[in-house]
């Protein structure tokens, strides 16, 4: 019999028992040390390798649900926390740096999208070749959207001006100066913007940004010169319709093909040479949150809401290995050389080697798994969200996911 429930609603007992069982499972699984976890104070919603901070890719930044952006040196686990500014979860990251030949210092900005409808900018200033003094010198923010800011990217216009492009759950795409001055925007008549990425093979004279939405479309648009952004409307290309519902993430591989992660439980390869038609489909048991490719070794890696990270053979689409360790939904992936970094709602960052010998060892060890409960629990040395904040975040995320499921049902009818 359940510990909680309403006697005249038997279904409540089953729901409560199921919830208690799931909580017990997660508590037991939380004890594992797979992926050499680093525990953060709150749920992690995004991760990015910051090559401006360290050209070798040894430093990543994470966006936390508690409103903090934190840097982590992968080789030493050294944390570089920033003062908390936002009062809501941070959803996305983008990096930018400037350096003058007359100035021995580099100015580096970390941009974060936030649920408070704003973009937050953390400015660092440091001397090249040093690791000291790399602390935040300024924090600013500006109101950007009518709803959550879900994604952002820094791009350069054809006339060599760096600008920030943001997407929100209000369905708007907006362009800004790096100081937060509005430049222009467009609404593609969709429910929300999920991902923004620069096409790496597009010409600098006409850079192309790809956009995915919470409906199903993938759009592309050329970035005009700075002087023309306000005077001309952004022109969206005809939508690519490769998925049944929300496309959470876009990623280009080294060949210029586009990989997508969707709530329709698939990741797909869209071929550039075939007019962005689907060349490969990777089926999953739940929402696919992120996708990256390791082109040197021919791997496609996906993050799923079922807590697993899957490594696929890029040439054959065969599933090669599953990295297990997270005990909540995996929200983001990043690659630094042969090292795969994953982050999760479980508030941990984990690292997985894709180097051939290490990956083969992981495959062999998976054939003889050890009990996760036998591993020591990762050390928690930072404060956590309050119960009230945890409940609010979970309610907001579940509401968004329920909206996706309802749309899928309507689309099938």
- What pLDDT is recorded for position 243? 98
Is residue 161 predicted with pLDDT exceeding 80?
A: yes
Mean pLDDT over 352-380 rounds to 73
- What pLDDT is recorded for position 293? 98
Assign 230 a pLDDT band (cuts: 50, 70, 90).
confident
Please give the model's pTM, rounded to 2 decimal places.
Answer: 0.86
**Better pLDDT: 13 or 61:** 61
Judge contact between 61 and 366, C-beta under 8 A: no
Assign 395 a pLDDT band (cuts: 50, 70, 90).
low
- What pLDDT is recorded for position 231? 66
- What pLDDT is recorded for position 3? 38
Assign 28 a pLDDT band (cuts: 50, 70, 90).
confident
Q: What percent of the chain has pLDDT over 70?
A: 82
Is residue 410 predicted with pLDDT exceeding 70?
A: no
Assign 400 a pLDDT band (cuts: 50, 70, 90).
low
Assign 402 a pLDDT band (cuts: 50, 70, 90).
low
Tell me which residue range forms the domain holding 211: 41-412
Domain assignment present for 222 = yes
Domain assignment present for 17 = no
Domain assignment present for 12 = no
For position 52, which CATH number holds?
2.130.10.10
**Better pLDDT: 377 or 87:** 87
Q: What percent of the chain has pLDDT over 90?
A: 69
Is residue 23 predicted with pLDDT exceeding 70?
A: yes
> What's the mean pLDDT when you consider all of the chain?
86
Is residue 4 predicted with pLDDT exceeding 60?
A: no
Whole-angstrom CA distances from 150 to 23, 40, 45, 50, 170 are 28, 21, 10, 19, 10
Is residue 178 predicted with pLDDT exceeding 80?
A: yes
- What pLDDT is recorded for position 383? 41
- Lowest mean pLDDT across 24-38, 294-308, 376-390: 376-390
Domain assignment present for 11 = no
Domain assignment present for 8 = no
How many independent structural domains does the chain possess? Answer: 1
Domain assignment present for 19 = no
Counting every residue written for the chain, the total comes to 413
Burial class (CB in 10 A: 0-12, 13-18, 19+), 140: middle
Sign of CA dihedral 350, 354, 358, 363: positive
Mean pLDDT over 12-24 rounds to 62
- What pLDDT is recorded for position 85? 80
In eight-state DSSP terms, residue 370 is P
In the numeric block, the tokens 């329709």 are attached to 264
What digits encode the pLDDT tens for the residues 123-159?
988 876 655 557 788 999 999 999 999 999 999 999 9
Domain assignment present for 265 = yes
Domain assignment present for 21 = no
Distance CA 289, CA 45 (A): 10
Count other C-beta atoms under 10 Å from residue 144's C-beta: 26
Distance CA 99, CA 110 (A): 15
Assign 47 a pLDDT band (cuts: 50, 70, 90).
very high
Q: What angle do CA 344, 22, 35 make, to 5 degrees?
A: 35
């Amino acid at each position: 019999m359940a510990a909680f429930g309403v006697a005249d609603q038997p279904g409540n007992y089953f729901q409560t028992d199921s919830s208690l069982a799931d909580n017990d499972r997660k508590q037991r699984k939380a004890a594992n040390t797979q992926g050499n976890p680093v525990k953060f104070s709150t749920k992690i919603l995004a991760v990015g390798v910051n090559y401006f901070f360290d050209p070798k890719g040894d430093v990543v930044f994470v966006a936390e649900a508690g409103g903090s952006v934190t840097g982590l040196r992968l080789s030493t686990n050294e944390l570089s926390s920033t003062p908390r500014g936002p009062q809501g979860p941070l959803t996305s990251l983008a990096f930018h740096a400037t350096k003058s030949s007359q100035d021995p210092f580099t100015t580096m900005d970390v941009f974060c999208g936030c649920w408070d409808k704003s973009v937050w900018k953390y400015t660092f200033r440091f001397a090249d070749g040093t690791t000291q003094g790399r602390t935040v010198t300024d924090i600013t923010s500006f109101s950007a959207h009518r709803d959550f800011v879900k994604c952002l990217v820094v791009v350069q216009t054809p006339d060599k001006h760096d600008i920030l492009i943001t997407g929100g759950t209000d369905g708007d795409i907006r362009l800004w100066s790096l100081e937060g001055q509005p430049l222009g925007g467009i609404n593609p008549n969709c429910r929300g913007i999920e991902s923004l990425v620069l096409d790496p093979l597009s010409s600098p004279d006409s850079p192309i940004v790809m956009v995915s939405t919470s409906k199903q479309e993938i759009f592309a648009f050329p970035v005009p010169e700075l002087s023309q952004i306000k005077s001309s409307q952004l022109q969206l290309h005809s939508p690519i319709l490769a998925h049944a519902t929300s496309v959470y993430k876009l990623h280009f591989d080294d060949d210029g093909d586009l990989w997508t992660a969707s709530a329709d439980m698939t990741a797909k390869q869209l071929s550039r040479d075939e007019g962005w038609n689907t060349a490969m489909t990777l089926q999953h048991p739940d929402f696919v949150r992120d996708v990256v490719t390791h082109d040197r070794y021919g791997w496609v890696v996906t993050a799923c809401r079922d807590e697993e990270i899957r490594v696929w053979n890029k040439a054959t689409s065969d599933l090669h290995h599953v990295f297990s360790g997270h005990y909540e939904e995996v929200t983001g992936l990043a690659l630094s050389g042969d090292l795969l970094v994953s982050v999760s709602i479980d508030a941990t960052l984990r690292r997985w080697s894709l180097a051939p010998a290490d990956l083969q060892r992981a495959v062999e060890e998976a054939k003889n798994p050890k009990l996760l409960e036998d591993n020591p629990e990762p050390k928690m040395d930072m404060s956590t969200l309050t119960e009230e904040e945890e409940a609010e975040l979970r309610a907001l995320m579940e509401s968004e996911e329920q909206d996706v499921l309802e749309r899928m049902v309507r689309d099938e009818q």
